[in-house]
Amino acid sequence: MTSNDPRCGKLPRASLIPTCGRVRKCSRCQAGAQNKLFRDLRTQRQLVSAGNQRRLPHSIPSGSMPSTQLPRLVIATSGSTPNLPRMKEKKMRLQTLMSQSTDGFNFNREPSQNNLFTLPPLQRCATPRTETMKFSDYEVIKTIGSGSYGDVKLCQHRKTGQLVVIKKLVRNDSTISLIAAEIDAGKRLKHGNVIEFKCAFEDLTHSYIVMEYLQGTDLYNYLEKTDFTPGTEEDVRSLMRGIVSAVVYCHGKGIAHLDLKLENIMVTAPGTAKIIDFGLCDRSDVLCSRWVGSADYACPQILLHHSFMPEKADVWSLGVILYIMLFCVTPFDRADTARLLRKGRHPTMNKPEGWHTVSPAAQQLLQSMLEVDEKDRISLSGVMSHRFFRSTMRERNL
């Protein structure tokens, strides 16, 4: 007998052995059926890929082996890549994340220490779109401002000559969700009283947000040029109408600014107010519990580290802005406010010397916007429809 004869009691050559180990010694099997089986295996062997498992072809005669013992061809390769399914899973996850849109971004998502791809892909803003925008495509004219997370720079595109403002932000675990939220807000918001978002791009360490360049000054410097002389009620009303309408629009898009203050409102040459810097924005329809904003403009709930409704927080900040524009002083003393709140007492809004020089409508609106209890505080729609603004519709059309 030859070594390949099943009647010899030996297994066939190793190259023909299915590695599942289900082939028995065949001295007791019918020689013809077993020889036919191994010939079929030899014919079908080239159809099997390394590392995959496939059932025997239908050409194998039924009854050659019990159904529970039909072998599956497995060709093992030496030196194969370890944890191959795990690597494929990671690659598929990365491709999924990089193909996601920022629409519907979950603002409350916290960055994971083990996930370096929390930030959705940034929109490329080059022409043509197949190119990749780089910060070196711009010439930096000057630095407008700086903070703990990055810088704001006035830049000019080297090819088009267009002036833009670029926020250069350090990207890490503590900033990645804030950057993504600001980009998402910029894409959603299109309003005449909101700064225009151009595009965003990134490199290995930074994210860049490109916005329109506004010729003018922020509201603080605007008041400073007048030596903080209270403006007329008509001028204040005209600016505040645009600011309030922009905030109402943002909340209609599901976005709360949460850092409204004089420095984040630009007054352009024609006298139009535009809201800037959505770096701390959040969803407008859910409770928020993180510290946001600036102390002089933060509502009592933020100062006490309580949960708060974003809409009512923005209303409070708008009330502080309106108060400062009318009287050029803050409505509350910061130290006394914090002390009273810690004792569970409500601070009282200051009434400066010019309090009685403004209209009763302005007084009533300020009091309703600066209610300490947010349940009693007026809503944004209530602010917009207040008679303080409605009383000058006729004057505006003249």
Measure the N-to-C terminal CA separation of the chain; round to a whole number of Å. Answer: 115
| Residue list, annotated binding site for ATP | 168
Question: How many Cβ atoms are within 10 Å of 147's Cβ, its own excluded?
Answer: 10
CA 177 to chain CA centroid, nearest Å = 5
Q: Is 40 a catalytic residue?
A: no
In total, the chain counts a number of residues equal to 398
The closest of 326, 159, 86, 293 to 226, measured between CA atoms, is: 326
SS (H, E, C) the chain: CCCCCHHHCCCCCHHHCCCCCCCCCCCCCCHHHHHHHHHHHHHHHHHCCCCCEECCCCCCCCCCCCHHHCCCEECCCCCCCCCHHHHHHHHHHHHHHHCCCCCCCCCCCCCCCCCCCCCCCCCCCCCCCCCCCCHHHEEEEEEEEECCCEEEEEEEECCCCCEEEEEEEECCCCCHHHHHHHHHHHHHCCCCCECCEEEEEECCCEEEEEEECCCEEEHHHHHHCCCCCCCCHHHHHHHHHHHHHHHHHHHHCCEECCCCCHHHEEEECCCCEEECCCCCCEECCCCECCCCCCHHHCCHHHHCCCCECHHHHHHHHHHHHHHHHHHCCCCCCHHHHHHHHHCCCCCCCCCCHHHHHCCHHHHHHHHHHCCCCCCCCCCHHHHHCCHHHHCCHHHHHC
Q: Enumerate the β-bridge partners of residue 273.
A: 267
**Exposure of 364 in the CB half-sphere (CA atoms within 13 A):** 9
Of the residues 259, 277, 282, 314, which is catalytic? 259
User: Residues forming the annotated binding site?
Assistant: 168
Q: Which residues are catalytic?
A: 259
